[in-house]
């Protein structure tokens, strides 16, 4: 562990994992925390519990804003554990001089997204700090959800499972970069920020055999797959040509020198589904407008345990590592 905290420690990748493991897990070690899920399962498996903080810059961007993001982020973490979001807290730290009209716009976005999830804010906290103490506004949301399908866990993935992604990847990270840098593009590129509970509910209602789900936020699909490979002691092999990536995101990746699999998402999630239900799961997801590119992208093998392998169209293989470095700070 380094002597000082760097921006890389917030990237959702290798350095972030090191920070969590060496500082927080070491201090707070317990059976629930060590499962490393998107949300903690508590109260005899009946409730899911999660928290998230949002510092995105800029506050408003194509497809969403920090308010929508703050509700989607926490509600999605609950949904990934098979839970229906029910109750949220909302805490804000606001910089002196922040425009009231912008705050109202942010809160309206939060209200709209709460309605999508059928959830409500039941508690909160507000702090105002002197100019320069915080960049405009930071938001924290904590959520409680009712578990509708028990047993979903990233620690239980086996070779019976196939790996699915619900849509094209990397849109949020690319959209934030474009907004931050003031790049004008003649395209429809926007953040994928979206509440995932409706999609999860459709899968649960169809009795799909779901092993694990995780939204691919900071660190992207690469981070999710590597976390899963380590947690379940498996090898995940991904077919490069099967990963859906839009032309706009490919172009941004060329500018940044990034891989789309490392870019952050806010409405994209990865699923491990029993192979017998995989095709049916993809069909259900494709019924949603944003999920027309849902696809099976890989399988679970025993080739290189705790590693992710990407297979190219030319028959070559390489390891897909956990992202490292600063990537794009303040992406969510």
Residue 153 has pLDDT above 90, yes or no: yes
Q: What is the pTM of this model?
A: 0.96
Average pLDDT, stretch 160-174?
97
Q: How confident is residue 13, by pLDDT bands cut at 50, 70 and 90?
A: confident
All CATH 3.30.1330.10 domain ranges of the chain, comma separated, are 7-147
C-alpha to C-alpha distance for 24 and 241, rounded to whole angstroms: 38
Residue 93 has pLDDT above 80, yes or no: yes
Reduce the secondary structure of the chain to three states and give it as a string.
CCCCCCHHHHCCCHHHHHHHHHHHHHHHCCCCHHHCCCCEEECCCCEEEEEEEECCCCCEECCEEHHHHHHHHHHHHHHCCCEEEEEEEEEEEEECCCCHHHHHHHHHHHHHHHHHHCCEEEEEEEEEECCCCCCCEEEEEEEEEEECCCCCCCCCCCCCEEEEECCCCCHHHHHHHHHHHCCCCCCCCCCCCCCCHHHHHHHHHCCCCEEEEEECCCCHHHHHHHHHHHHCCCEEEEEHHHCCCCHHHHHHHHHHCCCHHHCCCCCCEEEEEECCCHHHHHHHHCCCHHHCCCEEEEEEECCCCCEEEEECCCCCEEECCCCCCCCCCCCC
Residue 324 has pLDDT above 80, yes or no: yes
pLDDT of residue 330: 83
Q: How confident is residue 316, by pLDDT bands cut at 50, 70 and 90?
A: very high
What percentage of the chain exceeds 90 in pLDDT?
86
Mean pLDDT taken over the chain: 95
Q: How confident is residue 304, by pLDDT bands cut at 50, 70 and 90?
A: very high
Phi, psi dihedrals of residue 171, rounded to the nearest 5°: -65, -40
Q: How confident is residue 329, by pLDDT bands cut at 50, 70 and 90?
A: confident
Instruction: Average the pLDDT over each of 2-16, 166-180, 265-279 and give the range with the smallest value.
Output: 2-16
Q: Which fold has domain 161-319?
A: Phosphoribosyl-aminoimidazole Synthetase; Chain A, domain 2 (3.90.650)
pLDDT of residue 189: 92
Residue 174 has pLDDT above 80, yes or no: yes
Instruction: Average the pLDDT over each of 69-73, 134-138, 178-182 and give the range with the smallest value.
Output: 178-182
Average pLDDT, stretch 70-95?
98
Short-list 60, 58, 65, 128, CA closest to 91: 128
pLDDT of residue 328: 73
All CATH 3.90.650.10 domain ranges of the chain, comma separated, are 161-319
Strand partners, 120: 87
**213-248 confidence digits (pLDDT tens):** 999 999 999 999 999 999 999 999 999 999 999 999
**Cα 201–206–208 angle (5° rounding)?**
90
Q: Cα 67 vs. chain centroid, distance in angstroms?
A: 16
Q: How confident is residue 192, by pLDDT bands cut at 50, 70 and 90?
A: very high
Residue 327 has pLDDT above 80, yes or no: no
**34-63 confidence digits (pLDDT tens):** 999 999 999 999 999 999 999 999 999 999
The CATH number of 7-147 is which of 3.40.50.970, 3.30.1330.10, 3.20.20.70, 3.90.870.10? 3.30.1330.10
């Amino acid at each position: 562990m380094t002597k000082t905290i760097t921006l890389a420690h917030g990237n959702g990748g290798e350095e972030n994992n090191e920070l969590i493991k060496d500082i927080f897990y070491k201090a707070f070690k317990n059976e629930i925390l060590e499962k490393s899920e998107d949300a903690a399962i508590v109260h005899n498996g009946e409730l899911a519990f999660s928290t998230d903080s949002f510092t995105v810059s800029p506050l408003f961007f194509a497809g969403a804003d920090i308010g929508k993001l703050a509700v989607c982020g926490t509600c999605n973490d609950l949904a990934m554990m098979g839970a229906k979001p029910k109750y949220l807290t909302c805490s804000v730290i606001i910089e002196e001089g922040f425009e009231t009209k912008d705050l109202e716009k942010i809160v309206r976005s939060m209200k709209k997204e709460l309605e999508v999830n059928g959830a409500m804010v039941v508690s909160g906290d507000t702090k105002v700090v002197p100019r320069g103490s915080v960049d405009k506004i930071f938001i924290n949301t904590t959520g409680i959800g009712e578990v509708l399908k028990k047993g979903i866990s990233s620690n239980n993935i086996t070779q019976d499972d196939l790996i699915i992604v619900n849509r094209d990847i990397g849109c949020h990270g690319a959209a934030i970069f474009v907004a931050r840098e003031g790049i004008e593009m003649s395209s429809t590129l926007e953040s994928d920020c979206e509440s995932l509970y409706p999609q999860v509910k459709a899968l649960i209602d169809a009795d799909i055999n779901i092993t694990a789900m995780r939204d691919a936020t900071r660190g992207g699909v690469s981070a999710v797959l590597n976390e899963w490979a380590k947690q379940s002691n498996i090898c995940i092999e991904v077919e490069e040509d099967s990963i859906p990536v839009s032309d706009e995101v490919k172009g941004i990746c060329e500018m940044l020198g990034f891989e789309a699999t490392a870019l952050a998402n806010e409405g994209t999630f990865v699923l491990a589904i029993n192979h017998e239900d995989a095709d049916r799961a993809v069909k259900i997801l494709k019924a949603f407008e944003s999920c027309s590119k849902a696809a099976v992208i890989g399988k679970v093998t025993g080739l290189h345990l705790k590693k992710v392998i990407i297979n190219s169209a030319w028959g070559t293989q390489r390891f897909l590592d956990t992202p490292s470095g600063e990537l794009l700070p303040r992406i969510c």
